[in-house]
Structure 1
């Protein structure tokens, strides 16, 4: 797996504001949206294109367009929804699928509770959106899910990642046979005993949408 930690002053600035516990939910959502658009620029460097000729007002020109089948953007519910609009801003013609996963707070293992994806993903590039790569269980499970349906290129986009999560993803995907890239705004120090990223930014879902009891 390739790991790319985006290095840009605007990314660092927006991530710092997201970390601040005084940042309210509306501001957090706006910042997350802006940050994902910046990350999407890095994440789509290998998006597949094909040549095309177009007529300008002056002459013919050779350019490119997105290849078919179109890329598939897959936010992991619920927190991944907060990243969707920022990703679509750069890939407006991409299709969108949804994968609902929740972490068992006792075992830290992922549980899939919903999915809305094509049955056949043969030849598809997939962009998985999940704000926090903490223990890595949910993201690893999501990638396996997509590969089983035929996806042949996966890029995961996260706001933050922990070393433990990165190591788990690398271990679980070692023999998957599909190229996987992780693009993140920051690689933090560690996980705490509750499985949260330190220093992190708290629970991304709660900070995006509020606490749902």
Structure 2
């Protein structure tokens, strides 16, 4: 598994404001959207393309376009929805599927409660959107779910990650014969006893949408 931490001043600047407890939900949503677009730029470096010939006003030229089947963007509900616009802004021709997963706050075990995805993902590159890679259980379960449907290349985009979550992913996905990458704005210090990232930014879903 490959982990890429986006080392860029704009990424650090936006992340700092997201961390600030004084940042209100509208500002948080806007900055998360902007940050995801920056992370998506890094995450799509290996997006699959095919050569294509075009004609400029001056002469013929060789370029590329996204190959088929199209990439699939999969936000994990609910917090992953707050990352969707920023991702499809950079990759507007991608298709979008949805995966609803919830973590039991006592056992920290993730279970699937909703899916809206193609049954057959063979040959598909998938980009999974999950703001917080904390314990890693939810993301590991989501990746395995996509692989079981045939996805053959998966990149997870996370605003923040914890060392424990990265270790859990590596452990749970060991032996998986599919390339997996994680692109994140930062790897923080640790998890606390409640499974929250420290220093983190709090509950991403609550900060995006309010407490419900």
Same fold (TM over 0.5): yes
Q: Match for residue 165 of structure 2?
A: 165
- What SS does structure 1 have at the residue aligned with 2:79? coil
Query: Are positions 1:142 and 2:142 aligned together?
Result: yes
Q: TM-score, normalised by structure 1?
A: 0.99
Cross-structure match for 1:56: 56
Cα displacement string for residues 37-91 of structure 1 (whole angstroms, at most 9, x for unaligned residues): 0000000000000000001000000000000000000000000000000000110
Q: 1:104-142: per-residue Cα shift (whole Å, max 9, x none)?
A: 000000011100000000000000000000000000000
Following superposition of structure 1 onto structure 2, how do residues 1-213 of structure 1 map, counting pairs within 5 Å? 1-212=1-212
Matches of 2:9 and 2:24, distance apart in 1: 22
Following superposition, the deviation at residue 174 of structure 1 comes to 1.2
SS at match of 1:65: strand
RMSD over aligned Cα, in angstroms? Answer: 0.3
Q: Does the residue aligned with 1:166 lie in a helix, a strand or coil?
A: helix
Distance 2:111 2:148 in 1: 17
What are the ranges of 5 or more consecutive residues in structure 1 without an aligned counterpart? none
**Distance in 2 of aligned mates of 1:206 and 1:102:** 14
Structure 1 stretches (4+) deviating beyond 4 angstroms?
Answer: none
User: Whole-Å Cα distance in 2 between the matches of residues 113 and 123 of structure 1?
Assistant: 25
Structure 2 CA distance, aligned partners of 1:118 and 1:200? 34
State the aligned residue count: 212
